[in-house]
Structure formats: structure tokens, C-alpha cells
Chain A
């Protein structure tokens, strides 16, 4: 016997190949539900017991199979979905490799019941490890039902590698969520150990997301829609300020198929830019559609990866689409009373929750009820539908503020404390460009706790965080200056000497060019002394010294904490240190100017650190509270 190579018997081969397609209960769920979706089902029911180890069953009302097809469906490379190579290039179904059922059948006990609508009687097929044990006629509903038992019964290695029920169930759950999100037009039911977890009616995408993740989460999302002949994207992304500490709710779909791609996830993330604090991540559900010829979905048997003909272009397109949405949305938070909004929401993932309950059902319940907790209260966040935003978006001229504050009102000045001492007036007057006094007279705007600016708008009451808002204005200005080399620097007749620590001195040296772009001109003298010869022309005389030092301090802090890019750090530091603080009293003109400048900013709704600058209580909300409706 000299020859050693043998062709493997089909049974053995299937068992090996099965490992690629089916490596845990979750992948069985994925393959079965995908088959149901491909079959045109409008109702799909998933039943799982003991995290799939005892039972995974999927029932659908799709096309069903003839007896002949049902018998052959479990053979490797048996598929109804492609016939030629050309078809492979044009895949629009989720399955196409013709190996899922074969792989599953190789390592489990399978029972298939199916009936096509033309027949009166259906077919039952029973298979154990690729051996067909039974094919009989039975009466059954139209569609297909596949039940998988004793998964990995004949591959102890696999079986032993399975994780705890919690973990395996989490995979099933996540798989279900992905498929349910990407097929909102299909009804889904999901039973776990006889408990009905989800009963999802036919929905729009947004409502499907709400059904799965909770109402208020759904309402914090922004709609993305963009496209051309070649590529388009639709879906939802997190509103800035509602980002999470984890990346777990990030979903990308290509032509209806969930896929993973770190680079494209980053494209979305990077579009948020300064709207998101480091360490937070947006949630997103983005559906990319692209000519199937331009992508290869057949990279791995699990079909989770795709290859784009031009990934760079997709990256750019995705980032731009998300960015456009962010820049053009009204990101004002509308709140009602009694809300307990936590902006940095983080529904914890199941693994962390292990101690809460032993059974997977218990687990998933706490998950869902927690989501519901997130949805508690009666927060209502509007999407870009407010007349207020439209008002000023259409009006690019200088009178922006008029359209915001059209309503003139009798309550004018009601809360303005006029007893501002001359000294205080002085200290503030350099902060904003002053809108002419008579113009400001008619706006109902006042300061609350020297911290928030309250003002009346067409749709309700707007509350602005003065520091965050001013920071946003200054940040955009600083960024613009850093890039445009157009700062006006008032040259000093008598230079200011600033004695710095060694560290600060070196920092100033390394930032010399950028600081100059902001308007700080200086000469580095010996002995850690810096001679300021020019200062940004809008800095209040007397503050230059302080602002310069604070700028360096802030820079150092952000460098450690946020690990920002140099210019961005400088812009944020500059904005933070020069902005009015909570506690600063503002004159009315200053408040009007703040609001005016804020809404002239590119991204008025969040400060450079991703915190909200504006929230709003609508008149309807107030009316509701006073039972006027």
C-alpha cells in the first residue's frame, strides 16, 4: 500500500465542512432564518430551547419544497438559488452556496416538514448525521419547518467547545436581531424555552428598531438617506449625545445581508468627528445597496465578510452620507417634564448581566426590560421636523435670529435682573459682538442661574447651556483659524513677558506655529520666559496672559484624557478656556448674540465634546402638562 491519499467519504467530508458554516447554535439560526427569508416567507417563527442545544426550530410560510426538492436540499452543493456563474455574480438571495442544510444535517438530527401551495399534502424528512432516516407524506401547513436537535451529537469536540448557555443564547439573540432589523417587512416570533420574547409585526425600519431596542432609543436616531446610480445608503444613526460606551449596536448591511467591516464602521464613526467624545460610539443601522457585481459576498462560508471592488469609494460615500445627515439635522433635544434622560446611555450587554439570572430566558428578559427602562419616562425627541430649524436654515442672511424669535411677547424682560453693576458689565462686554440694543429688545430671552440662557421660540422654550454654546462657537472659529491662517493678531507695543514652567515652555515651542495661527505671536526667550508680541485681537485686554496659560493647561489635560490630534486639541482647549463659564452673568445683547452665533455655527447642537448645547420644551408639552389639550 504505497498510495496514501484517499478521497474522503461524503459523510466525513460534510462533517469537516460543517465546521466552517456551523460552528455554534447561532449559526444554525442564521442559516435557517436566511433560508426562510429566501423562500419569500412573510412570517417566521424561531423556537429555541436551552440556547439551541436542545432545539432550534424555524417555521415559515414561504414557498415550501416539493418532495423531490426536500430530499435533495440536504445534499451538498444543492441549491435552487444559482445555476450559472453569472448568477453567482448577481446574488440577491442570502444563501447561494448550497451547503447550509448539508452542513447542519451532518452534525445534528434534523426534521423537515414542508409543503408547497400547489400540493395538498406535505413532506416529512428526517435525517441524522446525513443519513436519511425517513421521508413520508404528512399533512402540514404551507411553508417549511426545520427542527434541529442534538446539535453536534457526533462531533464531541465542537460540542465541548460550546460556551455557557448565556453566551450561546446571546449569539442567537444577536443573530435574530440582525435578521429582524434587516427584514422589517417580515413578521417574526421568537420563543425561548416556551416564553415569547418577541412578536414583531410587519413594520417600517424605524419602528422595527423601536420594537427591538425600545421606543426612546428609536426616537434618538437620525435618518440617513443618500445615494446615486451606483450606491445608496438608508438607515439610522445615533443622535450625538446619545452615543454609547460600546460598539455593540453597530450594524452594517449590504444588499440586505449583515456583514462586518471594521473600516466601514470607522467611516461612520469618523463622520461624527467632534460630535462625539472619545470612548463613546454611535449606534447605527445602515443599509448599503450596491450593484451585486461590484461586490463579492463569497469570501467566507459564513458569508459575514464582503469584498468591495472599491472599498475606498464606499468608505468615502458612507462617511459623507452620515456627515451630511449630522450637519443637516435639527439636533435639538425636546424634552418633556419628568424625564430622566441619561445622555450617555449604555444598555449593558448580556454577559455582564450573567449574575442576574440563571436561565437564558431570565437573562433575555432582563435585557429587554432594561431596554424598556431606557425607554421609560416620556421623553420625546423630535426629528428634523421643527419649523424652528427650517426657519433659520432657509434664512442664511444676517437676520437669522428674527426668524427664530418671531413671536414678540408681553413677558419680555420678565426675569432679567437689570441691576448689573457697571463693573460686571465691563467684564462681560468684550465677550460677544453686540447686537444693536433696539434689535434685541423684542426677544424674550433671559438668563437662569447665570448658567442657562432661556428663550422663547416659535415652537416652545429653548434652553441653552451658555458655556457649551459659546464653546461650540469658539471651537468652530478656532478650527477655521487654524486652517485659514487668517487670525487677526493685535501686535503689542509693550510685549508681555510670561514666565512658564519648563514643560509649558517646551509645549509652547512645539505649538508655536498653531498658536500663531490662533493669533498668539511670541518670541521664546531664555530662562523659560516667553515674550508675547501679538495676541488674538478679540481677547479682552488683560486676559491675554491668563488665557495663554490656561490654554496650555487645558491642552495638557486633553492630551492625557482625550488623546486628541494636535490641532483639534488646541481648538478645543482654546474654545474651553475662552468661553463664558457657568456663573458668568450675561447681558441681554450678549445672550441674543450667543444664540445668534450659535445657530450660525455649522453644528449648533452639541459642544465640541459632544454634549448638548440646546434643549427644548415644546409648547405642546407645556399645554399637555397644564391639561390644556
Chain B
């Protein structure tokens, strides 16, 4: 294997695959990235055995071949290379020489044969979606997924495809975010898949503002193919909770409010709130929302936001972070909040269609 590559390309590629590399493992080869030189490109491949990522980078290949090297080390080297292009040559199975201007490195690797192979992937179905659309949908929902390993299914994001509709849902059992879009799908597919949040977070990073992503599925895996990059992930098996059941059909009251001003008010009051156990109280009354945070050890913060409202007065308490999450993820000017009483879920809506259901804090 021998190739010449632009330093910046190498950095970009290694940066992308970096999050896949796990920090603690009993299988040291997983610290490595597999480099394969083909015709006029090289590919980087990394895996943690449940998520894998493949990136192609343009390169001038003199001799094909492959080997694996410590990803972190390689990344650190790439960042410090003194010149724009570097030559990479494999001396034997697992020793490479990197030459860049006056500097050269001898790098020990592990031979490609020892690197875990991509599991065989026999596509059962596949479809195309706009990258920008998928990215937007994922960004509006993924934060609501759980990182609690004891409820594995909630660690994933549900992607539900029905006819011409694609619905993405994430919940951690305390709040739930859902977004829905009409898409052009060739045939009438009906698919539910639960993708690990780690995969989604990687995906969000590589999705671009143009082009399409090809999603292919097998029994328990999905691949997301983009121009120079492919992510292959195990799916989370199991039945995703019936999300329709937890979305209240009808709430008693509704307030429309400017998203930015609500977010700002929450941000300012939350400063006071106990960091470890945050809470804010929303007092809703005629044409006004009052937001109060108080903390015995610190003091109190108070905000008033004028709104158009003539429904019943009531108070609800929330974890401010949970309330701010969707406001940060949305981009519309106005949002609506629907609610019934202080112990029933509140619903944040925007016209995308986007729905966010949040359970309040109960006191005493």
C-alpha cells in the first residue's frame, strides 16, 4: 500500500470517524482505524461493533492494500503535519512510514486481516431521503432520547415510515419529541426502525445540506449511504412504546408564544434554579405567563411574558432543561403550548408538524 494524500482531507476524515472509536475496550484493535487504498481513493473504516463508519478520501494511490493504525495517534500526527501533502507507505504488513516534508514517522499497526469485518449486509429494502430534511428531523427530536441503558429501546430514535409519511420519535420516558414529514417514497413502504442515538448523532454530523442519503435495511441493521461516507448500524431490537398513546388528544388550553422570548426567559430564570435539581414554575394567567425560579440557597428569579390568553389560570412546574430543549431545536418564530392542569402533560407544538410532550414536576 502506498498513497499520497492531502493533509486536510486526512484530518477531515479522521475527525469524522473519531467518535466511533470507543475509549475503553478489551479489544485493542477497536482503537484502530482501518485504511484501505483502492484505485484513486482511500477509505477509512472504524467500528465499535455496533456502529461502523466508512469514509472515502481522495488520494493518489500508487499501490493498493490495507492495514490498521491507532486512530487517535494518527489523528494527532495528521494535525501536526508540516506540509500540505503526505506520503503513506506500508513497509510490511503492519508497519507504515509517513513522510511529510522533512518529517517522517514509522508507525506500528495491526494487520488488516485481524480487523473485524463488516457484517454481511443483505439489503431487504432501501429508499432515498433528502439529507437536509433528515438532518433537520433528527435534530428536532434526538435530544429527547434516553441515555439510560436499562431501558435500551429508549436509547434509540424511532423512524417510522408509512406510505408517504416519515415520523421520527424520541423519548426518555419523561418527555417525548415527534416530528412528521411528507416525503416522496417510490412504493408504499411500512417500516419501523429504532436507531441507536449514538448512530444518529454521528449521522447528524455527516449529513449535508444537499444531496440524498440512501437508507438500506436488513433484519437488524441499517446503512446510511452518502456520497463519501457510509454509516452502518445495528438497530435496537424490541418494541418501541406506543407513542400515540402518550400524546394527549385534546388539551383544555392553548397559548401561542414567541419562541425566542420564552427561551430567553427560561434561560435567565434557570440560572437561579438549583443546578442539580432544576425547576421553574410557570404561572399562567390572563394575558401573561410568569416564570419563577427560586432556590433557598441563592434567591429568586422572575420573568413576565405578555401573551394572548383568556383561559383558566394555573401553575405548572417543569424541569427548565426539558422545556428549553425543544425551543432550542426549533426554528419557527412562534410555538404553541397546550396544557390541561398541573399534573397533566404539557404539549409544545409547532407547525412543522412537531409535537413535544412534557410531564411536569409534582411537588410534595
Measured CA separation A540–B147 after assembly (Å): 10
B297 at the interface (CB under 8 A from A): yes
Give Cα distance in the complex from A35 to B80, angstroms: 94
Of A183-191, A284-292, A488-496, the segment with at least 4 beta carbons within 8 Å of chain B is A488-496
Compute how far the CA of A551 lies from the CA of B333 in the bound complex, rounded to whole angstroms: 46
Instruction: Give the docked Cα–Cα distance between A537 and B364 (Å).
Output: 12
A492 pairs with B174, CB closer than 8 A: yes
Determine whether the beta carbon of A492 is less than 8 Å from that of B173: yes
Minimum CB distance partner of B277 in chain A: A538
Whether the pair A491, B361 counts as a contact (CB closer than 8 A) is yes
Interface string of A350-364 (1 = CB under 8 A from B): 000000000000000
Contact string against A for B residues 175-219, beta-carbon threshold 8 Å, 1 for contact and 0 otherwise? 110000000000000000000000000000000000000000000
Q: Is the CB of B298 within 8 A of A489?
A: no
CA A538 to CA B277, docked complex, whole Å:
5
- CB pair B297–A488 under 8 Å, yes or no, is no
Query: Chain B: which residue is nearest A521 at the CB level?
Result: B362
Q: By the criterion CB–CB under 8 Å, are A486 and B173 in contact? A: no
Interface pair B279/A494, CB less than 8 Å apart: no
Q: Mark B327-364, 1 if CB is under 8 A from A, else 0.
A: 00000000000000001010000000000011111111
How far, in whole Å, are A485 and B364 apart by their CA atoms in the complex? 4
A609 interfacial contact with B, CB 8 Å? no
**B362 touching A541, Cβ below 8 Å:** no
Q: Which of B146, B149, B277, B362 contacts A491 (CB 8 A)?
A: B362
* List of A residues within 8 angstroms of B360 by Cβ: 491
Question: Contacts A398-B298, A488-B277, A542-B146: A494 and B363 contacting too (C-beta < 8 A)?
Answer: no
A541 touching B146, Cβ below 8 Å: yes
Query: Is the Cβ of A542 less than 8 Å from the Cβ of B277?
Result: no
The interface bits of chain A over 526-541 (1 if a CB of B lies within 8 angstroms of the residue's CB, else 0) are: 0000000010011011
**Which residues of B are found within 8 Å of A545, using beta-carbon distances?**
150
Q: Given the interface contacts A433-B275, A538-B277, A541-B147, does A398 sit within 8 Å of B297 by beta carbon?
A: yes
Q: Are A487 and B363 in contact (CB under 8 A)?
A: yes
- Interface 1/0s, chain B 259-278, versus A by CB < 8 A? 00000000000000011110
**Residues on A with beta carbons closer than 8 Å to the beta carbon of B298:** 398
- Residue from the list A426, A486, A488, A542 in contact with B151, Cβ < 8 A: A542
Q: Shortest Cβ distance from A14 into chain B, in angstroms?
A: 70
Taking CB atoms, residues of chain B closer than 8 Å to A537 are 277, 279, 319, 361
**Number of chain A interface residues as a range:** 20 to 34
B residues 223-248 near A (Cβ < 8 Å) are 241, 246
Q: Does A422 contact B (CB under 8 A)?
A: yes
Establish whether residues B241 and A494, one from each chain, have CB atoms under 8 Å apart when the complex forms. Answer: yes
Residues from chain A with a CB closer than 8 A to the CB of B275 are: 433-434
**Are A493 and B277 in touch, CB under 8 angstroms?**
no
B276 and A493 contacting across the interface, CB-CB below 8 Å = no
Within 421-457 of A, Cβ neighbours of B (below 8 Å) are at 421-423, 426, 430-434
Whole-angstrom distance between the alpha carbons of A534 and B298 in the complex?
Answer: 27
Is residue B124 contacting chain A, with contact meaning CB distance below 8 A?
A: no
What residue of chain A has the Cβ atom nearest to residue B342's Cβ?
Answer: A491
| Chain B residues with CB under 8 A of A485 | 364
A398–B241 CA distance with the chains assembled, in angstroms: 44
Nearest residue, chain A, Cβ from B151: A542
| Contact indicator per residue, chain A 479-503, by CB within 8 Å of chain B (1) or not (0) | 0000001111111111010000000
Tell me how far the C-beta of A180 lies from the nearest C-beta in chain B, rounded to whole angstroms.
49
B32 beta carbon closer than 8 Å to chain A = no
Distance in angstroms between the alpha carbons of A105 and B212 in the assembled complex = 115
Smallest CB gap from B155: residue in A: A542
Residues of A within 8 A of B358 (CB): 493
A488: which of B172, B176, B317 is its contact (CB, 8 Å)?
B317
| A493 partner, pick from B151, B359, B362, beta carbons under 8 A | B359
Report the minimal beta-carbon distance from B18 to chain A, rounded to whole angstroms. Answer: 12
B361 touches A490 (CB 8 A): yes
Contact yes or no, A493 B361, CB < 8 A: no
Query: Is A493 touching B150 in the complex (CB atoms < 8 A)?
Result: no
Question: Hey, what's the 0/1 contact readout for B142-175 against A, CB within 8 Å counting as 1?
Answer: 0000111111001000000000000000011111
A579 to nearest B CB, angstroms? 14
The 6 closest A-B pairs by CB, nearest first: A542-B148, A433-B276, A491-B359, A538-B277, A433-B275, A485-B364
CB within 8 Å of B: which residues of A? 398, 421-423, 426, 430-434, 485-494, 496, 517, 521, 534, 537-538, 540-543, 545-546, 600
- Interfacial residues, chain B to chain A (CB-CB below 8 A): 23-24, 146-151, 154, 171-176, 241, 246, 274-277, 279, 297-298, 317, 319, 343, 345, 357-364
